[in-house]
Homo-oligomer: A and B are copies of this chain.
Amino acid sequence: MAAVAPPLTRKLAHLVSLSAAEIEVLHEFQSAPRHIERSREVVVEGRKYDCLWVLLDGVAQRYRVLQDGRRQILNLILPGDFIGFPGCFFENALYSIGTLSDCTLSPIAFTRFLGLSATHPRLAAILFWSLSCEAAMYAEHLIGISRRSAVERIAHFLLELLTRLRVIGLADERSFQLPLTQEQIGDILGLTGVHVSRTLRQLREEGLVETAGQRITIRNAEQLSILADFERTYLNHFRMNEALLPDRPQP
């Protein structure tokens, strides 16, 4: 292959081996890059959409603004993730999606996507599984917010992010860069920005993490994992049950 695989391909290849034809379809999904600036809305809650996108580059957030103005970020969308999925299955989008940095994304006609179950059933199953993963990550997020302290939440958040970013090649061994303010981290974890600041300081003082601008370095992953009750496998928990896939066509 000429260049580095695009993020969606990379993410899925990390999980199952893909046939040439499947890689071709995924490639097509990622072949019409559109650029969007930082702090723009890609999806607005309540509106109707009939198309979805793959994020190719940048970071976006899925969020809801409450009555009283507080904001809850449901999850971070990283390169290789879908946008507008499962939202476009609903009459109206349930959440808004906004960019946190300049982003590149590629549209996929929804009908094209649906047709997949006829033309590439195996790939359709993999994408179906990918939706299951999203549900599971909401559930994990729920557990974290409900039952963990601020230190645990932040520790877990950082480790999860390191893991996700490493899969798509956007983090090195123990550090990564992230276009998030501390207030936004708070909006993800159900904390105030002020308390995120205090808690990060605590983690710094204990020598577990290091922050320099928007770069975060995990200094002691071992210790941090224990603190956060972070299963070192994390993403492996979401490993697909391959026995359920349709037979793979011979290459």
Contacts and interface: CB of A to CB of B under 8 A. Distances in A.
Interface string A122-148: 001100110110111011011101110
B89 A132 contact: yes
Count copies of this chain in the complex: 2
A91 interface: yes
Pick from A124, A132, A240 the residue with the most CB of B within 10 Å.
Answer: A132
A29 interface: no
Given A110-B244, A238-B90, A131 B139 contact: no
A171 to B, nearest CB: 24
A94 B139 CA distance: 10
Given A89-B129, A136-B94, A114 B70 contact: no
A207 interface: no
Contacts of A74: 139, 142-143
A114 B124 CA distance: 11
Pick from A94, A139, A244 the residue with the most CB of B within 10 Å.
Answer: A139
Contacts of A67: 229
A72 B117 contact: no
Interface string A190-230: 10000000000000000000000000000000000000010
Interface in A74-133: 74, 86, 88-92, 94-95, 110, 114, 117, 121, 124-125, 128-129, 131-132
Interface residues of A, number: 47
A243 B50 contact: yes
A1 interface: no
A129 B88 CA distance: 10
Given A92-B237, A145-B190, 9 more contacts: A86-B131, A89-B128, A89-B241, A89-B244, A90-B241, A94-B237, A114-B244, A134-B135, A147-B190
26 contacts: A48-B241, A50-B241, A66-B229, A72-B142, A72-B143, A72-B147, A74-B139, A86-B131, A86-B136, A89-B240, A89-B244, A90-B132, A90-B240, A91-B241, A95-B139, A114-B244, A117-B121, A117-B124, A131-B131, A134-B135, A135-B135, A135-B138, A138-B142, A142-B145, A145-B146, A145-B190
